Amino acid sequence: MATALEPCPFCHSTHLHLAHSGLDYCVVCQSCKSKGPHQESLERAIGLWNETSVRLGDPSLSETAAGEPLADSARTGPRYSMARG
């Protein structure tokens, strides 16, 4: 069953690559080199990438109920790192 990848949550590019290192999978943006979390299953790696892309794309989800932005330390969920060239 094929699952579509959401655009990069950081640069909004659709130039994405599914990386497999033998033990795990992750999604990598070919434009800004952002990486999703490494997961044991391809489906989980794609699911976390898509969840983050949707969450970061929705401004209402990045604020508290009082309308104040969340501090980075208060955010939950997967964290992404920039791949080094």
Nearest to residue 19, comparing CAs of 49, 55, 56?
49
pTM confidence score: 0.64
Helix intervals (H) in the chain: 42-57
Give per-residue pLDDT as tens, 22-40.
899 999 999 999 999 999 9
Neighbours of 62 (CB within 10 A): 12
What sign does the CA torsion over 9, 50, 79, 59 have? positive
Q: Which residue type does 42 have?
A: L
The set of residues, in sequence order, having a beta carbon less than 8 Å from that of 64 and lying 6+ positions away, is 70
Give per-residue pLDDT as tens, 59-81.
655 443 344 444 443 444 445 44
